Amino acid sequence: MTVASKKRLVVKGGTVVNPGSVAAADVLIVDGVVTEVGPGLDGDEVLDAAGCHVSSGFVDLHTHLREPGREEAETIETGSRAAAIGGYTAVVAMPNTDPAQDSVMVVEFVREQGRRAGLVDVHPAGCITVGRAGAALAPYAALAGAGVRLFTDDGNGVQDPLLMRRALEYARDLGVTLAQHCEVARLTEGAVMHEGSCCSNMGVPGWPSVAEELMLHRDIELVRLTGAPMHFLHLSTAGSVELVRRAKADGLPVTAEVAPHHLALDHDLLAGWDPVFKVNPPLRTREDIAALKAGIADGTIDAVATDHAPHAAHTKELPLDQAPPGMLGLETALGVLVTAVNPDPRRLCELMSWNPARIAGISDTHGRPVAPGEPANIAVWNAAEVWTVSRDALASRSTNTPYHGMELRGRNIHTIHNGRTVVKNGKALA
Ligand code: DOR
């Protein structure tokens, strides 16, 4: 009796990036698992990685997939495809869906739709409060029992400090992590953009940096009180970087992410009144951008997370004060990070894969070394490739990219999810 031989997938001619080494090697994958890393490997399917880095697939801590509820902007399938093209093998799906991800039924629906799409692992975040309304805690024990590891009301910050304290105590005892959208809502009512020179010139209401920093400061103190770990979403100001830097120096269990657009774009872009540049938190000043980059350089910032926020064209075409905040990010994150910051390959992997996998609680399957015995969730990316973003060529169902027509350096080429090639030469295979 002959046993059918298993397909051998080889990634050939690339530079493998691992925490301990960056070295030229081929990678052999059989049956979803990396089986060999070394020179001269061959297989039945060969992916050309010449000039590319080969690393664990990227993990996005902050993706809005819009399903259920706003499928005209994105579905779990179209968002998964955009993610895979960007080099992601896992995404954390934000809970501001309709209905919100505050019940086992909804998170299981999201996970199942992710499985059906089969392009990346979709890990739904749970809500901190029921309906993200900020009044009553969501049923964490049931949600944690259903595999949820990260909880947030993203889109809203949790305003009530007592509720936040209880949420942290509850999360600590369950071993899950809360992620805060830092925004004191009273200070940002009606805000359209960053409160600064540009918004004054335009005569529109501004979103002051202190609205982010106050909540961040409050929650750092609640972490000190409760000992619960906490992740801070899309930080955007110089003051926030300094607060996190000090909290880490004090040994507090906090982590922080920044979004690519806050590293590359500043508030002066709003001067043309184009809602494609409207985002929450808003684009800030050049000094803020420099501080975020310094936070990346010294390790204060743990992750780059997209805040991929698709919006249907008819909503983004409304006047600036009425258009919803948010911009696409999954397909451009690598290029924006390389173009704006150019981290070395290992730091890039820390920011895009290794740290986010740990923060998301999925480091058993993602952000792993590219080494024998490890699950084959892999990105093959070229940090030198220069390409021009076209909103018409994106896989997302929406087109609200702020980078349309812009030249970026750095592009994902192939993505392997659970041992299967899902993106080849920049194109999704399914
Ligand atoms: O700009 C944003 N858009 N920031 C958020 O926090 C939410 C997001 C969305 O859901 O559109």
Which region, left, alpha or beta, applies to residue 310 given φ > 0 means left and ψ of -120 to 50 means alpha?
Answer: beta
The CA 145 to ligand 1 mean position distance, Å, reads 27
Nearest CA to ligand 1 atom 5: 155
266 noted as active-site residue: no
Nearest CA to ligand 1 atom 4: 280
The band of 430, judged by pLDDT with boundaries at 50, 70 and 90, is: confident
| Average pLDDT for 63-85 | 98
* Cβ of 181 less than 6 Å from ligand 1: yes
CA distance 131 to 420: 37
* DSSP, residue by residue, 97-117: SSS-S-SHHHHHHHHHHHHHH
pLDDT at residue 4 in the model: 60
Q: Which of 188, 280, 316 to mutate to test the pocket of ligand 1 (most atoms within 8 A of CB)?
A: 280
The CA 180 to ligand 1 mean position distance, Å, reads 13
pLDDT in tens, 99-136: 999 999 999 999 999 999 999 999 999 999 999 999 99
pLDDT at 336 over 50: yes
The CA 62 to ligand 1 mean position distance, Å, reads 10
The CA 363 to ligand 1 mean position distance, Å, reads 26
Which atom of ligand 1 lies nearest, measured to the CA of 309?
11
Q: What is the mean pLDDT of the chain?
A: 97
The CA 185 to ligand 1 mean position distance, Å, reads 14
* Beta partners for residue 129, in sequence order: 137
Q: Global pTM?
A: 0.98
Q: How far is CA 326 from the centre of its chain?
A: 13
pLDDT at residue 192 in the model: 95
Cα distance between the two ends of the chain: 34
The band of 30, judged by pLDDT with boundaries at 50, 70 and 90, is: very high
* Cβ of 326 less than 6 Å from ligand 1: yes
CA distance 140 to 170: 8
The CA 294 to ligand 1 mean position distance, Å, reads 25
Q: Is 366 exposed, middle or buried (0-12, 13-18, 19+ CB in 10 A)?
A: buried
Domains and CATH numbers, the chain: 3-53+374-428 (2.30.40.10), 57-360 (3.20.20.140)
Buried b (16+ CB within 10 A) or exposed e, 168-204: bebbbebebbbbbbbbbeebbeebbbbbbebbeeeeb
Output DSSP code: residue 308. Answer: B
Which atom of ligand 1 lies nearest, measured to the CA of 155?
6
* Cβ of 177 less than 6 Å from ligand 1: no
pLDDT at residue 3 in the model: 53
Which atom of ligand 1 lies nearest, measured to the CA of 324?
11
Contact status, residue 254 vs residue 232, Cβ threshold 8 Å: yes
The CA 288 to ligand 1 mean position distance, Å, reads 20
pLDDT in tens, 374-421: 999 999 999 999 999 999 999 999 999 999 999 999 999 999 999 999
pLDDT at residue 181 in the model: 98
Which atom of ligand 1 lies nearest, measured to the CA of 233?
6
Task: For helices 104-117 and 76-85, give the axis angle rounded to 10 degrees.
Answer: 50
* Cβ of 306 less than 6 Å from ligand 1: no
pLDDT at residue 189 in the model: 97
> In sequence order, what are the residues at sequence separation of 6 or more whose Cβ sits closer than 8 angstroms to the Cβ of residue 342?
none
Which atom of ligand 1 lies nearest, measured to the CA of 326?
1
Nearest CA to ligand 1 atom 6: 155
| Average pLDDT for 305-334 | 98
Catalytic pick among 121, 266, 302, 307: 307
1 versus 168: which is more confidently predicted? 168
* Cβ of 66 less than 6 Å from ligand 1: no
| Average pLDDT for 248-255 | 98
* Cβ of 280 less than 6 Å from ligand 1: yes
At 140, the amino acid letter reads Y
Which atom of ligand 1 lies nearest, measured to the CA of 310?
11
Buried b (16+ CB within 10 A) or exposed e, 41-50: bebeeebbbe
* Cβ of 212 less than 6 Å from ligand 1: no
* Cβ of 279 less than 6 Å from ligand 1: yes
pLDDT at residue 2 in the model: 47
